[in-house]
Amino acid sequence: MGLLDGKVAVVLGASAPGGSGAAIARRFAAEGARLLVGARSEGPLHDLARETGGLAMRCDVGNQDDVAAFIARAVDAYGRLDVGINAAGLPMGGTIADSSVEDARAAMEVNYFGCLHFIRYSAQAIVLFSSLAAAQPMEFVYSYGCAKAATDALVRYAAAEYGPKGIKVNSIQPGPIRSDMASGLWEVAGMEDAYAREIPLRRIGEPDDYADAALWLAGPSFVSGLNLPVSGGNQLTRMPYLSERPDMTGNDPTNAS
């Protein structure tokens, strides 16, 4: 018997076959959930839907009407909605000095307002994807990190407001991860070792690590309002400052996406 037998789940940000969203969809299907997967890029979604026995629908999480229609599709198809996972995000590079206000607004539109839309229309157990950058300043990603910090605050407010209705809201703060989006980063010579040395467990994360965390938060755990670092302990240390390494200077990690 699976942990999610009889449950209906939606997973946004599931278009990359090697990403966290797809890994979560596969894990949830293996645990018995009926699924609707979504993302802005529709093509790969249908392969994932076939693989997991679920449904697929294009959805831009930054568009409130898209999110409302996406959630309605799940309820129409399955008659209920139990679990909502929003793993969609927009990585953006730059420092405070070299980024525009428009850059910051674009980061907020997807990474914060997308989560707000999702919470308003979503399920009994909601899991949002934040970032370790929300709590730990990192080079090159100020607008992304600030948007994710707003998301973590939203999680706490939503957990307090919706808790009396039986709704729990949490976020996952990923650290460095091996994924389709970050594949270019790890191809830079020495980059993975530089990151792993700063992580107490001495490795970067894998998509299945985040699927494990999402399953725990989506299940019957007595947990709400948590911003959960899933980083091998990297929240206790720091990201490598690439500007300190002459051989890596100029390697903006977000360019890897």
CATH number, domain at 53? 3.40.50.720
Whole-angstrom distance, CA of residue 211 vs CA of residue 50 = 19
Residue 40 within a domain: yes
> In Å, how far are 36, 54, 137, 159, 167 from 78, measured between CA atoms?
9, 10, 42, 25, 19
Per the annotation, the verdict on 241 as an active-site residue is: no
Per-residue pLDDT of 9-29, as tens digits, reads 999 999 998 899 999 999 999
Catalytic pick from 112, 142, 144, 210? Answer: 144
Whole-angstrom distance, CA of residue 167 vs CA of residue 83 = 10
**Do 248 and 34 contact (CB within 8 A), yes or no?**
no
Helices (H), the chain: 20-30, 43-52, 64-78, 101-108, 114-121, 142-162, 183-186, 191-197, 207-218
Which amino acid, 232?
A: G
Per-residue pLDDT of 67-113, as tens digits, reads 999 999 999 999 999 999 999 988 877 888 988 999 999 999 999 99
Residue 74 within a domain: yes
Residue 3 within a domain: no
Please report the pLDDT score of residue 242 as a whole number. Answer: 59
Residue 252 within a domain: no
Residue 253 within a domain: no
SS3 content of the chain, % helix, strand, coil (to 5): 45, 15, 40
Mean pLDDT of the 182-202 span = 81
Please report the pLDDT score of residue 3 as a whole number. Answer: 95
Q: Which two tokens stand for residue 151?
A: 């998301």
Which amino acid, 35?
A: L
Per-residue pLDDT of 157-178, as tens digits, reads 999 999 999 999 999 999 888 8
Residue 186 within a domain: no
Based on the structure, what is the number of domains in the chain?
1
Residue 189 within a domain: no
| Domain residue limits at 125 | 8-180+206-238
